[in-house]
Structure 1
Amino acid sequence: MKTPLLGNRTFYDGVLRIGLPVALQNLLISSAGIVDTLMISTQGETAVAAVGLCAQFMSLLFSAYFGFCHGGVIFVAQYWGANNKQGICRTYGLMISCMMFFGLLFGALAVLAPQAIMQVYTDKAPIQQAGALYLSIVGFNYPLQVLAYGMSALLRATERVRIPLYASIAALLTNTALNWVLIYGQLGFPALGIAGAAIATLISGVVNLGFIVVACLWDRNPYLFRFSEHFRWNKAFLKQFFAKSSFIVGNEAAMGVGNMILNAIIGRQPAAALAALAVFRVVEGLVFAFFRGFTSAAAVMVGKQVGSGNHLQGYTDAKRFVLLCPAVTLLVCLLIQPFRAGLLGLFSLSGEALYYGMNILAIYTVFATLRSCNWISNDCFRAGGDSSFGTILEIVCLYCFTLPALGLGAALHLPFLAMYCLMYLDDVVRFGVVLWRVNSGRWLKPVTDEGRAALPDFRALLVAHGHRLRKRGIK
């Protein structure tokens, strides 16, 4: 059990090889959001708030399909460690089928009922109208986004991380150029404002998916296009897949609904606060970009070790991620602090909106560190095959602590910044519990034959190690 907890060269090589391209990809995606918000900010605070609330509907879509995606990644990463190509193909087929159902559903809702959606998120008519226009166009991109995300997840889980990165670069360049042309009316095109931003997002989504498809065909990817093997599901596989995925799907659905309620409560705050929050969520993407790199690396590295039966290595790597990810999150947040005013000023925030934005970024430094620890721990649990513990804990804390506190705060008319702090109450409650769970090792629940065969020896090692610590008076 004596392994360097801060990691060795092999560990960091894996983090850089898998996590860095994913972090760069997400940084590019966040940069696209920043470019969108920067350009839309010239249209006024109403447009910024509308696009920010539309992003929350897209987050609800993400919650709907992400559970199936992450459940699939559990299997793909462990099958990758066991070199089971048929298992990878059939997992991808089932995963993408489930994901596309929600991509088509949400796309139809956005296109056909955008006004009704916006009424859920805010009671301010100008924001509703602007958001409905944006949703009615960008909704066509939702199925494309879901398909591209599923393909990228498979590529990352099988350690082919460059294609999604290059696709994101192409999409960012396309989105930026088209935003300039369509929002402002350059090169002879009419100035379309917020509708132009939506059209640019749709076309960049086509470019992103097209790049991935063409690159994978050129690379002769051994999994994405073996359609005859994507649907070779048997009863035992379906039972195992949905047994693992159901908790993640339920988690994401419950969290999506909970966050929708949360955003509906926050959406009744002053327009200046909503504009500041919309800009903050774009800046938050810079932090989240690095975080997603770590979670992708953790899912592949921990899942691969557990799937191959090397449980001690998977357990040790998980503990390393739980230390490393919050430390990097804190560092990134601290680096942003000196540039808060200039950064927010780029988005045309001023007066009350600038005041809210400055304080949001300061408060976020503390809560982002706690949240990243909770999230990376839960991703390690899932990579190890335990999809239930973190799910139940997350749902219970959101519905029993955060939402009641926000409801009470709204009834008492608490100031916006106090309401913002209450949004993170569940992360404070979960923090100590997830650290205990990581250290216990009880989250290792392999789905491969190789992993299950090695589990008794690992559990015996943990028990023996625990006895030795207790004899030394260490708990």
Structure 2
Amino acid sequence: MKQTIKDMTKDKVFFKLLFTIAIPIMIQNLISSSLNMIDTLMIGRLGEGEIAAVGLANQIFLLIMVGLTGICAGAGVFISQYWGKKDLTNIKRMLGLALMVGSVYALVITVVVQVFPTQMIGFFNKEPKILELGTSYIKIVSFSYILTAITFAYSYGLRCIGRTKLPMVASAIAVLINIIFNAIFIFGLGIVEPMGVAGAALATLLARIVETVCIVGGIYIKKYELAAKAKELFVVPKELIEKATKPMLAITANEICWGLGSLIYTKAYGHIGSTAVTSIQIVNTITNFFLVVIFAIAAAVLTIIGNAIGEGDIDKAKLYAKRIIILSTGLGILISIGIALTAPLVVSCFNVTPEVAQMTINVLLINAVIIIPRVYNIVMIIGIFRGGGDTKCSLILEACTMWGIGVPLSFIGVYVFNLRLEYVVMMLMLEEVVKAILCMTRFKSYKWIHNMVEH
């Protein structure tokens, strides 16, 4: 182990490659997480009911996110490996496939939300105030889902070929737009009357429009490799579709499996009460803010491992994977310490009751422990295994641990023993620990290495 760390610190090429890709993604994720935190803080000035309502409405957006992540990451496995071969024709075809499938997926959910908005919010919580506020928010923000599908496809494609700066800049501009219009629409300014949570939804929609224009326009203005003609994007050979279908379905199923599990967790928390919903919304906002580094590392790892395998250099893929595990474990420990030290200070920024504040601090401290194996699992599944084309095993790992351990424990804790939120979250630590053990076993076997672009 000491020799591995020593060799890693001397390899400047490895660190340059990793951080050249990871840092712009990290900044982009940090910007996006900042947006979520700022949104929550600004809406939080209106009251706990508004925080809970928007938090529940965003669970639907979570379903959009996980589905699109699966579709685009599935295409990204191929794009990263094709980039190792410098096969631009098939890179454009995979981008077009992600655009088509992602757009249809987003459109279907948009229609469902427009037809059944109150029922969607009512699945989580039936308090009249939360139903009313959540419905007004989701009916507006759902029009941004199709835009999210487009930006996701192009952003993932850019990441997989190492062009990460454009999505970062586009996200920064979108956040600025969102903050400005949040202030105008939520609280009112000049002739604009205060709109509350509906104003926050409208600001988000406008920000998504700007982000989409920036990313797509930037690609074609700068004539990047993804600046394809319609025929290059949307005329995809049958054999390529067949080759891509299983990995894309596996990753999409993986993400939806995780997303649905998270929705079930939210439903369980909703049974505890609106205080628990408010608390967990704040916890998720803060925790995700800290995790931006890890998700950026994982995204970079997918590209690096995929490129190496596409080049046919399996030894380099193995070496880089080992180094990334060491690096991410150290980062997990640092994030754990950061969450534990800043929990009381950050929670004090939210306008909540002392009961909710203390509950939130307690859950954050529990999360500080859970975060270490969670970070390890994120890098393994999203970065190493997916980059290696091992999509089926990743699905099995997520499904078995979440639905075999996490979901049953959450319902036992809430519906059988009527436990407080803190104890339910503590029970869920078992899911991440078991998953980490299974990930290490899979990694050591090297069965996660698959060249997806060999003819």
Which one of the candidate residues 13, 20, 25 is aligned to 1:22?
25
Which one of the candidate residues 382, 402, 406 is aligned to 1:402?
406
- Amino acid across the alignment from 1:12: F
C-alpha separation in 2, matches of 1:288 and 1:146: 22
C-alpha separation in 1, matches of 2:222 and 2:250: 35
Question: What is the CA-CA distance between 1:397 and the residue it aligns to?
Answer: 1.2
Question: 143-152 vs 236-245, which deviates more?
Answer: 236-245
Question: What is the CA-CA distance between 1:447 and the residue it aligns to?
Answer: 1.2
Partner of 2:92: 89
Partner of 1:155: 158
- Taking the TM superposition and a 5 Å limit, the aligned residue runs for 1:156-171 are 156-171=159-174
How many residues are treated as equivalent by the alignment? Answer: 450
Which one of the candidate residues 214, 222, 226 is aligned to 1:223?
226
C-alpha separation in 1, matches of 2:177 and 2:58: 20
Contact 1:151–1:224 under 8 Å retained in 2: no
Question: What is the CA-CA distance between 1:338 and the residue it aligns to?
Answer: 2.6
Question: 383-392 vs 300-309, which deviates more?
Answer: 383-392
C-alpha separation in 1, matches of 2:266 and 2:219: 38
- Amino acid across the alignment from 1:51: V
Asked whether 1:442 is paired with 2:447, we answer yes
Contact 1:287–1:329 under 8 Å retained in 2: no
- Taking the TM superposition and a 5 Å limit, the aligned residue runs for 1:3-152 are 6=8, 8-152=11-155
Which one of the candidate residues 393, 408, 411 is aligned to 1:389?
393
Which one of the candidate residues 206, 212, 218 is aligned to 2:215?
212
Question: What is the CA-CA distance between 1:56 and the residue it aligns to?
Answer: 1.4
C-alpha separation in 2, matches of 1:137 and 1:359: 34
User: What SS is found at the alignment partner of 1:81?
Assistant: helix
User: What SS is found at the alignment partner of 1:267?
Assistant: helix
- Taking the TM superposition and a 5 Å limit, the aligned residue runs for 1:186-197 are 186-197=189-200
Question: What is the CA-CA distance between 1:212 and the residue it aligns to?
Answer: 0.9
C-alpha separation in 2, matches of 1:295 and 1:187: 45
C-alpha separation in 1, matches of 2:67 and 2:76: 16
CA root-mean-square deviation:
1.7
C-alpha separation in 1, matches of 2:126 and 2:326: 42
Which one of the candidate residues 277, 281, 285 is aligned to 1:278?
281
Contact 1:76–1:157 under 8 Å retained in 2: yes
Asked whether 1:288 is paired with 2:268, we answer no
Partner of 2:433: 428
Question: What is the CA-CA distance between 1:211 and the residue it aligns to?
Answer: 0.9
User: What SS is found at the alignment partner of 1:385?
Assistant: coil
User: What SS is found at the alignment partner of 2:123?
Assistant: helix
- Amino acid across the alignment from 1:446: N
Superposed CA offset, 1:308-362 (max 9, x none)? 0011111111122222223213313312333322211111133110011111111
- Taking the TM superposition and a 5 Å limit, the aligned residue runs for 1:347-426 are 347-379=350-382, 380-410=384-414, 411-426=416-431
C-alpha separation in 1, matches of 2:342 and 2:376: 25
C-alpha separation in 1, matches of 2:233 and 2:219: 16
- Amino acid across the alignment from 2:151: A
Contact 2:269–2:276 under 8 Å retained in 1: no
- Amino acid across the alignment from 2:63: L
Asked whether 1:245 is paired with 2:240, we answer no
User: What SS is found at the alignment partner of 2:272?
Assistant: coil
Question: What is the CA-CA distance between 1:226 and the residue it aligns to?
Answer: 2.4
C-alpha separation in 1, matches of 2:102 and 2:427: 32
C-alpha separation in 2, matches of 1:207 and 1:64: 22
Question: What is the CA-CA distance between 1:3 and the residue it aligns to?
Answer: 6.0
Superposed CA offset, 1:173-225 (max 9, x none)? 10111111111112331111111111110101111111112211210123243
- Amino acid across the alignment from 2:420: P
Partner of 1:346: 349
- Amino acid across the alignment from 2:430: L
C-alpha separation in 1, matches of 2:233 and 2:429: 40
C-alpha separation in 1, matches of 2:451 and 2:4: 22
Partner of 2:238: 235
C-alpha separation in 1, matches of 2:158 and 2:278: 36
C-alpha separation in 2, matches of 1:52 and 1:333: 24
- Amino acid across the alignment from 1:85: L
Question: 218-227 vs 407-416, which deviates more?
Answer: 218-227
Superposed CA offset, 1:241-290 (max 9, x none)? 01222211222222222222222111111222211111111112212211
Partner of 2:334: 331
C-alpha separation in 2, matches of 1:65 and 1:224: 21
- Amino acid across the alignment from 1:392: I
Question: 215-224 vs 136-145, which deviates more?
Answer: 215-224
- Amino acid across the alignment from 1:421: M
C-alpha separation in 2, matches of 1:249 and 1:31: 26
C-alpha separation in 2, matches of 1:184 and 1:163: 32
Contact 1:27–1:285 under 8 Å retained in 2: no
TM (norm. structure 2) is: 0.95
Contact 1:112–1:136 under 8 Å retained in 2: no
Contact 1:76–1:91 under 8 Å retained in 2: yes
Question: 339-348 vs 39-48, which deviates more?
Answer: 339-348
- Amino acid across the alignment from 2:450: K
- Amino acid across the alignment from 1:249: T
TM (norm. structure 1) is: 0.91
C-alpha separation in 1, matches of 2:353 and 2:15: 42
Partner of 1:462: none
Asked whether 1:302 is paired with 2:301, we answer no
Task: Check 1:226–1:356 CA distance in 2 against 1; reply closer, same or farther (3 A cut).
Answer: same
C-alpha separation in 2, matches of 1:138 and 1:223: 28
- Amino acid across the alignment from 2:278: A
Structure 1, gaps ≥5 residues long: 453-475
Question: What is the CA-CA distance between 1:121 and the residue it aligns to?
Answer: 1.3
Identity across the alignment (%):
26
Contact 1:23–1:293 under 8 Å retained in 2: yes
Contact 2:219–2:226 under 8 Å retained in 1: no
